[in-house]
Homo-oligomer: A and B are copies of this chain.
Amino acid sequence: MKNRILGIDPGTQVVGYGVIECEGTSMRLLAADVLRAPKGAPLAERLAHISAALEAVVAKWQPQCAAVEDVFVKADPRAALAIGHGRGALLAVLGRHGLLVADYPPATIKRSVAGNGRAPKQQVARMVGTILGLGALPTPLDATDALATAITHSLKSRTQIIVKK
């Protein structure tokens, strides 16, 4: 059975997304790009823009589920609030389309894709390319981060099924 996963790297200015199709143990790339909000626009306008753009992605690719990079909340509450704004706008879109949303912390994504929870971005990007059998990597890196999140969800779902047997 084929399963489409939408991976998202959230933000209030740039949002990375990637769609992969999984069947058995194989995964293939369907789409990967970034959504950009108009620079310098008020927050509500930027969130509206990325929310509408994500809706178009969901309508086009019809994923069965979504995986979003979770947040490593550091000490700065202002930064956490800003991250929350971006995630909230995107999660609402996913929820309104009835998508189940899984959350994965950055370290889990890096460990799943590159075998090391502290792997640098470039290494994660290379492994994304290897796993999806790509000749060239989708740029920018926000898109490969989103793909890494989708791949993580696919691998984790697979593990869960095995464990349940």
Q: Which residues of A contact B (CB under 8 A)?
A: 12, 42-52, 71, 73-96, 99-101
Contact = CB atoms under 8 A, between A and B. Distances in A.
Contacts of A76: 77
11 contacts: A42-B101, A44-B94, A44-B101, A48-B96, A51-B92, A51-B96, A52-B96, A73-B78, A80-B81, A81-B84, A85-B91
A152 B92 CA distance: 28
Given A84-B86, A89-B91, 17 more contacts: A43-B95, A44-B100, A47-B95, A48-B95, A51-B92, A51-B96, A74-B77, A78-B80, A80-B80, A81-B83, A82-B84, A85-B87, A85-B88, A88-B88, A88-B89, A88-B90, A92-B93
Contacts of A84: 80-88
A47 to B, nearest CB: 4
A49 to B, nearest CB: 7
Contact of A47 (B44, B49, B81, B91): B91
A106 to B, nearest CB: 15
A53 to B, nearest CB: 11
A38 to B, nearest CB: 11
A49 B96 CA distance: 7
A92 B80 CA distance: 18
A65 to B, nearest CB: 11
Nearest to A87: B85
